[in-house]
Amino acid sequence: MEKYGFRFQLPAWVETFLAGMPLAFPEMESRMELAIELARRNVGEKTGGPFGAAVFDGEGVLVSCGVNLVESHNCSVLHAEVVAIALAQQRLGRYDIGAAGSGFFELVASTEPCAMCFGAVHWSGVARLVCGARDQDARAIGFDEGPKLPDWSAALEKNGIEVVRDVLRAEAAEVLRRYQAEGGTLYNAGRTLST
């Protein structure tokens, strides 16, 4: 029987891009700028969808980053948030990023989480989720964000995950619109639409 396995890796441009970055991003806006630039470059390099994310520790030090890899890896779960969370878990050596006593960790995402990423955030162990563009910004260009709780942010807060929304929203939403304008693929379950 054929062996099965699963591997993914960030596009080659990410390493080069990060080499020019500082080690720490002390302001929330600077952390969001990084997530948005990852999304922007993912579109520009044609390596995936218009989404970027990164995990930071409590000092603002970058732990991991992610970009949308759905098309390049033929895998619907490789959203930017999931990629960033998975790489942080591997780097830290634990599935619960914020396991008791291990410190504060934050996920910064260029767009609010879809239904799947909402679940991933819930189980990741991060203490804070920071979002740029809104769910409706992604839906406005044609993405199906899935059936999320109407008050998803309150649900995360109830479980101890602080949610900060609309950080550089206009800049993040512009990346979504650029993706649409350039004819990026909108991959929705059971149907693929071209913009």
Amino acid at 85: I
Q: What residues are paired with 129 via a beta bridge? A: 107, 163
Please confirm, yes or no, whether 81 is among the known catalytic residues.
yes
Contacts of 36 (CB under 8 A, 6+ apart): 52, 110, 132, 168, 171, 172, 175
Nearest to 58 by CA among 104, 8, 94, 110: 104
Strands 52-57 and 105-111: antiparallel
Considering the candidates 33, 81, 112, 171, report the single residue annotated as catalytic. Answer: 81
Catalytic (active-site) positions:
81
